[in-house]
Amino acid sequence: MITLMLWIGLAWAQDAPECELASELSSDTLSVAWVSPMNKRVGANGWFEVVPTTQLRSWAASNGRAVGPMLKAVGARKKADEPKRPWKVTIFEIEGDLLCMSDTEGSLPVYEARWRDVARRGFCLLPAERFVAEG
């Protein structure tokens, strides 16, 4: 019985990735953006979807600098119309080998990240309107 409890404890203690790693990304640090409703929060072990910041900025600069189409491009909404509630873009730096593949479909690459992995280095939060305006 004690042996079984030890095995269960060891299995829970391991910090193995809980998803398929994004193998096309290197272990270099890159900037990613989490696009979410203003009141959306994630717990320390929570997972959320991110897109590479440089690709999101390029997309915003070449696609009219509007929030609605950006939300559709990252797979956050099905329609490209402007949202009624406020959205935010939170920028993080993370090692590429900590990102996982996402099954969300959008016109930009979407990955999954865990809060405790991305929040270590701090973050910058911008209203989505400001992010697209700055391109």
Give the burial class of 95: count Cβ atoms within 10 A of its Cβ; 0-12 exposed, 13-18 middle, 19 or more buried. Answer: middle
Q: Is residue 97 part of a domain?
A: yes
Q: Is residue 75 part of a domain?
A: yes
User: Would you place residue 23 in the very low, low, confident or very high pLDDT band (cuts 50, 70, 90)?
Assistant: low
Q: Is residue 70 part of a domain?
A: yes
Q: Is residue 4 part of a domain?
A: no
| pLDDT tens digits, one per residue of 67-118 | 999 999 999 999 999 999 999 999 999 998 889 888 888 889 999 999 999 9
Check if the beta carbon of residue 91 is closer than 8 Å to that of residue 124.
yes
Strand 124-127 versus strand 100-101 pairing type = unpaired
More confident residue, 14 or 99: 99
What pLDDT sits at residue 134? 86
Check if the beta carbon of residue 73 is closer than 8 Å to that of residue 92.
no
pTM score, whole prediction? 0.82
Q: Is residue 2 part of a domain?
A: no
d(CA 38, CA 22): 27
Name the residue range of residue 102's domain. 18-134
Q: Is residue 58 part of a domain?
A: yes
Domain count, the chain: 1
What pLDDT sits at residue 57? 95
In this structure, of 7-11, 27-31, 89-93, the range with the lowest mean pLDDT score is 7-11
Residue 14 clears pLDDT 50, i.e. is over it: no
Chain centre to alpha carbon of residue 82? 21
List of residues 6+ apart from 110 with CB closer than 8 A:
49, 50, 51, 74, 75, 102, 104
Q: Is residue 13 part of a domain?
A: no
Closest by Cα among 45, 66, 59 to 109: 59
What pLDDT sits at residue 93? 94
User: Would you place residue 9 in the very low, low, confident or very high pLDDT band (cuts 50, 70, 90)?
Assistant: very low
Residue 24 clears pLDDT 80, i.e. is over it: no
What pLDDT sits at residue 112? 93
Q: Is residue 106 part of a domain?
A: yes
Q: What percent of the chain has pLDDT over 90?
A: 62
